[in-house]
Amino acid sequence: MKIGQDVHLSILKKDNKKETYRSKIINISHENLYINEPVHLKTKRTKSLLRINSPIYITYQDNQNIYQFKTYLKKRKLTQIPTYVLHLPDKTEHKRIQRRKHVRINVDVDVAVHCPEKFFSPFTTVTKDISGGGVSIYSHGQELHRSPYVNLTLVLPFDSEEFYYVFTQAKFIRYKLKDNESHLSSFQFVNIDEKDQQRIINFCFQKERKQRKQDTFLENK
């Protein structure tokens, strides 16, 4: 963890339903984690009524891994920038829950493709799958292999009903004929902004977690 990094807070309500919030690390000490006022991912409202000693699960990224630990609110500082002081447990209590670089999900994401060398005209399509390292798109017979690099614009639809646009260069990897009409082209992200890549990873993690919940629901139905 580092100052300025985004973290997610999971808070259990009295009915055992979980609410998820996003916050940012303001400071870190040996035993304390200082964050700004959490914002609900869906309602965009702040969590100003969080009780002292109430249990919280913090989720954060460290390199290519996702970690989670249980903590509690120690106190609030209602200064010009409201600050929440959380207990910071020893690193041994931080549980790795997902290795991000291996998360690849099958999902339709709108994407615009541009060729810097103009070997083909710009076009829009959707993805077959996406990960923090690359993407496969339906190319519909376009000869994308003629250009070693393309410019991609991805539109990520988060569950919070907000859209995030990623602009990145990508390297052509392979071409595959899926059936008589569908052509798949795979690309690896290059020179991608670190924040954009983290957004993609967060998106993949969110969609994978949602799919696991749906699968569990169907199994128990």
For the beta carbon of residue 78, count every other beta carbon within 10 angstroms.
9
Spatial distance between the Cα atoms of 186 and 130, rounded to a whole number of angstroms: 10
Instruction: Using the predicted structure, report yes or no on whether residue 217 has a pLDDT greater than 60.
Output: no
Q: Which CATH superfamily is domain 104-220 in?
A: predicted glycosyltransferase like domains (2.40.10.220)
In the chain, what are the domain boundaries?
Answer: 6-99, 104-220
Spatial distance between the Cα atoms of 158 and 19, rounded to a whole number of angstroms: 16
Amino acid type, 190: V
User: Which DSSP symbol is given to 83?
Assistant: E
What is the band of 15 on the pLDDT scale with cuts at 50, 70, 90?
A: low
Q: What is the pLDDT of residues 59-94, one digit of tens each?
A: 988 766 788 999 999 998 877 788 899 999 998 999
- Third-level CATH fold of 6-99: Pnp Oxidase; Chain A (2.30.110)
Structure tokens at 109: 């994401």
Q: What is the pLDDT of residue 102?
A: 54
Whether residue 56 contacts residue 70, with contact meaning beta carbons closer than 8 Å, is answered with yes
Q: What is the pLDDT of residue 96?
A: 85
Mean pLDDT of the chain: 84
Spatial distance between the Cα atoms of 110 and 13, rounded to a whole number of angstroms: 35
Beta strands in the chain (DSSP E): 6-12, 18-28, 32-36, 39-40, 55-62, 65-77, 83-87, 95-99, 104-106, 110-114, 123-131, 134-138, 149-157, 163-177, 183-190
> What residue has token string 């004929």?
177
